[in-house]
C-alpha cells in the first residue's frame, strides 16, 4: 500500500519528517517497504516560458518555439502540442533528462531538419496525470528557470506492507491512528458530514442474502457532472498507485484509500428496477470492469437488478453499469459483505482487487453511515448534484466484543513492566474503551474492542497492542535458563535421517529443490495413492490438493527448467507426502524424491553423442541413497512395476520382503510425461524413508574395536545358466545366503547372452568371497561350500555352466 506524506497529514497533525514517520511505522509493526521521492524523477525539467511560436517549415502540425529557461540565450524547441503558444509558461525537459513515462533520455536532435534542444512536456509524460492533449500550462507568475521539482514541491511517497490481521491499516486514517498512539503526532478526528437529503430515493434497495451481505446502504445523487477529477486528486491517486479515471470513480477510490472503506457508484440510467444483493444463479455471467467475463455460482454474492448481475459483490463492479463521462445520475452503494464469502469467491474466480483485499480481511461494520456521508459529500463537492434520502437495507454486525484483561498480564506475557495508566492511554488512543472493575481498577478491566479491529480476540492480543506501541525495543533480552553440563542432543532420529540423506544427495551431485506441498488436483491425481487431501479454503485452485508424492512437484520444476533451456537436470527434494490415515486422520510420511532429466552426458569431442538418463541411473541413485539412510541394501529385492506413473518394463520397486517397499524407481511413463508437458526421457526415484527399519540399539555405548581377519579371504567364481526372467539380484542373495558363516560377499561380474547359451537363458558369473576363521580352508571344505552354493542356486532354476 502506498500513500504520499501530504495525504497522511490530512489525518495526522505532525511535524515529523518522513524518516521519523518511517521509523515509527516500523517500530509499531507496519513495515515500510520503501520511500519514493517523486521529485527525483523530475531532475532535468525546468519551468520555462515560450517567447515565440512559429510554424515548422516542413510540418503543418509542428511549431518551432523559442523558450526562455531563465539562463542565457533562449533555446529552440520543436513542439507538436496544439496549445503551444507565445506567452505560455510550461515545463521544459532539457537534454540529458529522462522522461518518467517511457524512460526516453532527451538529447539535442533534428526534427524534420530543425534543431530541437529539449521537449515541452505534458502531464502524462511526467506521470502527473492522464492528460496528453497538450503541454502543461503553469500560472503566468511561475518562476521561470526554477527546477520544476522545486516549484512543484517534494511529496515523498511511503510504501508499507500491511499484514492480513490489520484491516484497519488498509486505510490511511488507520495508519494515522496508530502513529498518533505511538506519539508521532495527533490524530485529526473525522468530522460529521451533513447531507441535505432533497428527495426520496427513487430506487428500491434490498438484500436477499443476509449471510453474504448483511447490510446494503445506498442513495441516489442526481444532476452530477462527471469529468476529469481535479489535479490534486489525480496526483494523490497516482502517488498511491491508482489510475485516475473520472471524478465519480476517483471519489470512491479516494474514500477507499482514506478509510479502508470500499464503495461503488452505478450509472443510474443503466439500471433497471430494484437493486438487490443476492446469491448468484448457477451459470450467470458478468463482464467485470477489467473486461473479463466471469461465470458465477450460487456460493457467490452479487449485486443485481431486474436485468441481471452488475457487480461481483465486494470484489469488482460490472462493465455495463459503470460510470461514464455522460453519467448524470448515480446510485452509491456501501455495503458490508461476509469476509469468508468474499475470499472464497475471489479465489474461485482467480480475481483480485483493492476492494477484495479489504473486504476479505474485515472492514469496520460501524462505518457504513459515515462512509456513505463522506462519499456523498465528496461527490457533491466535485460533481455537484442533489442527494436523496439514504436507504438502509439490513444491518451490519454490531454486537460489541468485550475482552476481560488484567494489566499485570502485560509484564507476564510481554516481558516489560508498563504503568497501568500508560497502558490505558495506549489502548484508548487506539480506539479501545475501558471499563474498570468497580472494586479494583488495577486488576480487572473490561475492554470494548472497536469495530475496525476484528483481529482482537482475547487478552494476549491486548498485550500485543500495548507492547508494540510502547516499544518492542523496550523488551529486555533475557537468556533462557540452561542447566550446567553438556546439553543432550535434541535432534530426533527422523531429523538425523533427513539431514543425512540430504547431504548424501547433494554430495552425489544432485541439486535440492523445494516445491509446494500443494498441487493442482489433476497433478495430484496422477500420483495419488488412495483418497486425496483437498483443501476447502485453498490459496488458489492450483494449490488445492495436498501432495501424495514429491514427484509431481519435481516434474513441474523439471518442466520449467527445460522450458528455459536447461540441458541436464538432477533434482532432489526431502519432504513429506500427505495421505489419508485411519478415521480421516492426516498421515504425513517422510520421503525423498529424485528426478533425472535431459542429458546425463553432454555431447562432446571425447564423449560423442549425448547420453540420456535411464532406469539404471535411477536404480543407482536409489541404492546409494538407501545405503546412506541405513537400509540393508544387501537384502533388498527388486520386484514388480513401480506404478502407473512409471514406464512398464523400465521400472521396479526395492523391497524388504514382499510387503515392505523402501523405494520405487524407473522411467516416467509417456502418458504422464505428456500430462506434465515434458519431452524426452525422465528417470525418477522415490524413497520412502519412513519405511526404513530402525537400527537395532547397541548393547552398550562403546563400539567394539576393529579386528581385521587373521587369514586372507578366498575368492571363487561360479558361472550359472539361469532363466532370463530371474533377476541377477535374486541369484546374488541366494548364493550369499547359502553359507552365512563362510560367505561374506557375492557379486555379479558378467552377464552373457549369445553363442553357447540356450534360448531363454543367460549366463551370470558370480564372484563369491570366503573368509576363513581359525584355519585355512582345505579342498574338502571348499568343495562343501561350493556344493552349498550350487544347491542354493538350483532352487532358482540355475545350473553350473559347463
Numbered residues of the known binding site for Mg(2+): 455, 461, 464-465
Compute, in degrees rounded to 10, the torsion defined by CA atoms 20, 22, 23, 27.
140
CA dist list (Å): 771 to 700, 715, 768: 27, 9, 10
Pick the closest to residue 184 from 418, 27, 37 (CA basis): 27
DSSP state of 533: P
List the Cα angle 358/362/364 in 5-degree steps: 100
Residue 526, helix vs strand vs coil = coil
CA dist 187 and 10 (Å) reads 9
CA dist 653 and 536 (Å) reads 34
C-beta separation of 78 from 107 below 8 A: no
| CA-CA-CA-CA torsion sign (24, 30, 36, 37) | negative
Pick the closest to residue 242 from 4, 543, 493 (CA basis): 4
Can you give the three-state secondary structure of 446-501, one letter per residue? EEEECCCCCCCCCHHHHHHHHHHHHCHHHCCCCCCCCCCCCCCCCCCHHHHHHHHH
| CA-CA-CA-CA torsion sign (404, 409, 413, 418) | positive
| CA-CA-CA-CA torsion sign (464, 467, 471, 473) | negative
| Strand-pair category, 799-800 with 301-304 | unpaired
Phi and psi of 521, rounded to 5°?
A: -55, -40
Can you give the three-state secondary structure of 744-788, one letter per residue? EEEEEEEEECCCCCCCCEEEEEEEEEECCCCCCCCHHHHHHHHHH
Please report, in range form, the residues annotated as the binding site: 455, 461, 464-465
Q: Report the side by side order of strands in the sheet with 799-800.
A: 743-752, 761-770, 714-723, 799-800
Can you give the three-state secondary structure of 356-377, one letter per residue? HHHHCCCCCHHHHHHHHHHHHH
Phi and psi of 251, rounded to 5°?
A: -65, -45
Q: In whole angstroms, what separates CA 219 from the centre of its chain? A: 38
CA dist 518 and 524 (Å) reads 9
CA dist list (Å): 262 to 257, 313, 336: 8, 11, 10
CA dist 169 and 42 (Å) reads 31
C-beta separation of 577 from 591 below 8 A: yes
CA dist 782 and 790 (Å) reads 12
CA dist 46 and 118 (Å) reads 11
In our burial notation (b when 16+ CB lie closer than 10 A, e otherwise), range 122-134 reads bbbbbbbbebeeb
DSSP state of 147: B
Residue 211, helix vs strand vs coil = coil
Amino acid at each position: 500500500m502506498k500513500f504520499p506524506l501530504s495525504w497522511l497529514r490530512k489525518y495526522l497533525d505532525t511535524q515529523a519528517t518522513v524518516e521519523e514517520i518511517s521509523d515509527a511505522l516500523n517500530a509499531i509493526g507496519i513495515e515500510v517497504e520503501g520511500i519514493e521521492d517523486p521529485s527525483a524523477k523530475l531532475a532535468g525539467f525546468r519551468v520555462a516560458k515560450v517567447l515565440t511560436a512559429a510554424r515548422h517549415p516542413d510540418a503543418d502540425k509542428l511549431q518551432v518555439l523559442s523558450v526562455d529557461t531563465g539562463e542565457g540565450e533562449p533555446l529552440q524547441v520543436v513542439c507538436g502540442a496544439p496549445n503551444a503558444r507565445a506567452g505560455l509558461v510550461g515545463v521544459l525537459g532539457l537534454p540529458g533528462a529522462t522522461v518518467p513515462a517511457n524512460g526516453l533520455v532527451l538529447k539535442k536532435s533534428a526534427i524534420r531538419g530543425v534543431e530541437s534542444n529539449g521537449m515541452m512536456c505534458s502531464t502524462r509524460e511526467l506521470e502527473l496525470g492522464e492528460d496528453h492533449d497538450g503541454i502543461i500550462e503553469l500560472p503566468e507568475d511561475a518562476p521561470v528557470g526554477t527546477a520544476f521539482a522545486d516549484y512543484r514541491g517534494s511529496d515523498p511517497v511511503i510504501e508499507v506492507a500491511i499484514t492480513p490481521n490489520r484491516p484497519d491499516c488498509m486505510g490511511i486514517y488507520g495508519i494515522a491512528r496508530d502513529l498518533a498512539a505511538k506519539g508521532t503526532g495527533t490524530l485529526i478526528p473525522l468530522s460529521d458530514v451533513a447531507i441535505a437529503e432533497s428527495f426520496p430515493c427513487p430506487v428500491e434497495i434490498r438484500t436477499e442474502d443476509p449471510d453474504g451481505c448483511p447490510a446494503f446502504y445506498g442513495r441516489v445523487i442526481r444532476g452530477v457532472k462527471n469529468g476529469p477529477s481535479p489535479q490534486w486528486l489525480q496526483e494523490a491517486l497516482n502517488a498511491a498507485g491508482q489510475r485516475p479515471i473520472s471524478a465519480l470513480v476517483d471519489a470512491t477510490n479516494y474514500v477507499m484509500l482514506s478509510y479502508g472503506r470500499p464503495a461503488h457508484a452505478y450509472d443510474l440510467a443503466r439500471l433497471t428496477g430494484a437493486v438487490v444483493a443476492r446469491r448468484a444463479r448457477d451459470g450467470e455471467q458478468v463482464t467485470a470492469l477489467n473486461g473479463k467475463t466471469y461465470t458465477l455460482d450460487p456460493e457467490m454474492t452479487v449485486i443485481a437488478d431486474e436485468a441481471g448481475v452488475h457487480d461481483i459483490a465486494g470484489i469488482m463492479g460490472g462493465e455495463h453499469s459503470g460510470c461514464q463521462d455522460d453519467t448524470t445520475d448515480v446510485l452509491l452503494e456501501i455495503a458490508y459483505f461476509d469476509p469468508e464469502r468474499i475470499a472464497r469467491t475471489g479465489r474461485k474466480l482467480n480475481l483480485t482487487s483493492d476492494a477484495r483485499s479489504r473486504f476479505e480481511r474485515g472492514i469496520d461494520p460501524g462505518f457504513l453511515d459515515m462512509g456513505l456521508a463522506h462519499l456523498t459529500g465528496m461527490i457533491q463537492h466535485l460533481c455537484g448534484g442533489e442527494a436523496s434520502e439514504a436507504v438502509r437495507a439490513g444491518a451490519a454486525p454490531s454486537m460489541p466484543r468485550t475482552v476481560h484483561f488484567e494489566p499485570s498480564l502485560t509484564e507476564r506475557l510481554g516481558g516489560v513492566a508498563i504503568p497501568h495508566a500508560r497502558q490505558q492511554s495506549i489502548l484508548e488512543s487506539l480506539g479501545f474503551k475501558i471499563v474498570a472493575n468497580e472494586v479494583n481498577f488495577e486488576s480487572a478491566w473490561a475492554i470494548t474492542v472497536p469495530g475496525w479491529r476484528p483481529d482482537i480476540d482475547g487478552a494476549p492480543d491486548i498485550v500485543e497492542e500495548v507492547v508494540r506501541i510502547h516499544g518492542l525495543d523496550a523488551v529486555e533480552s533475557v537468556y533462557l535458563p540452561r542447566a550446567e553440563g553438556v546439553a543432550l542432543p535434541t535432534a530426533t532420529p527422523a531429523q538425523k535421517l533427513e539431514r543425512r540423506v540430504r547431504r548424501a544427495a547433494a554430495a552425489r551431485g544432485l541439486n535440492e529443490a523445494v516445491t509446494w506441498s500443494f498441487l493442482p488436483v489433476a497433478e495430484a491425481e496422477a500420483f495419488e495413492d488412495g483418497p486425496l487431501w483437498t483443501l476447502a479454503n485453498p490459496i488458489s485452485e492450483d494449490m488445492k490438493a495436498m501432495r501424495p508424492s514429491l514427484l509431481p512437484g519435481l516434474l513441474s520444476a523439471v518442466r520449467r527448467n527445460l522450458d528455459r533451456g536447461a540441458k541436464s537436470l538432477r533434482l532432489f527434494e526431502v519432504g513429506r507426502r500427505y495421505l489419508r490415515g485411519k478415521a480421516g486422520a492426516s498421515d504425513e510420511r517422510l520421503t525423498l524424491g529424485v528426478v533425472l532429466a535431459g542429458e546425463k552426458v553432454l555431447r562432446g569431442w571425447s564423449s560423442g553423442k549425448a547420453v540420456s538418463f535411464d532406469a539404471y541411473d535411477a536404480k543407482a541413485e536409489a541404492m546409494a541413497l538407501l545405503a546412506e539412510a541405513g537400509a540393508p541394501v544387501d537384502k533388498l529385492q527388486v520386484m514388480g512395476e513401480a506404478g502407473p506413473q512409471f514406464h512398464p518394463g523400465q521400472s521396479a520397486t526395492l523391497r524388504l520382503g514382499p510387503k515392505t517397499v523402501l523405494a520405487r524407481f524407473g522411467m516416467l511413463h509417456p502418458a504422464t510425461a505428456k500430462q506434465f508437458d515434458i519431452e524426452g526421457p525422465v528417470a525418477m526415484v522415490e524413497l520412502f524413508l519412513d519405511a526404513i527399519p530402525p537400527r537395532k540399539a547397541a548393547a552398550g555405548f562403546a563400539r567394539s574395536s576393529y579386528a581385521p581377519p587373521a587369514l586372507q579371504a578366498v575368492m571363487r567364481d561360479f558361472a550359472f545358466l539361469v532363466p532370463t526372467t530371474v533377476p541377477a539380484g535374486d541369484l546374488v542373495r541366494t548364493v550369499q545366503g547359502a553359507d552365512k558363516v563362510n560367505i561374506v560377499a557375492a557379486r555379479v561380474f558378467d552377464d552373457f547372452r549369445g553363442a553357447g547359451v540356450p534360448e531363454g537363458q543367460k549366463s551370470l558369473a558370480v564372484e563369491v568371497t570366503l573368509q576363513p576363521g581359525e584355519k585355512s580352508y582345505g579342498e574338502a571344505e571348499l568343495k562343501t561350500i561350493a556344493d552349498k552354493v550350487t544347491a542354493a542356486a538350483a532352487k532358482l532354476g540355475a545350473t553350473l555352466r559347463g
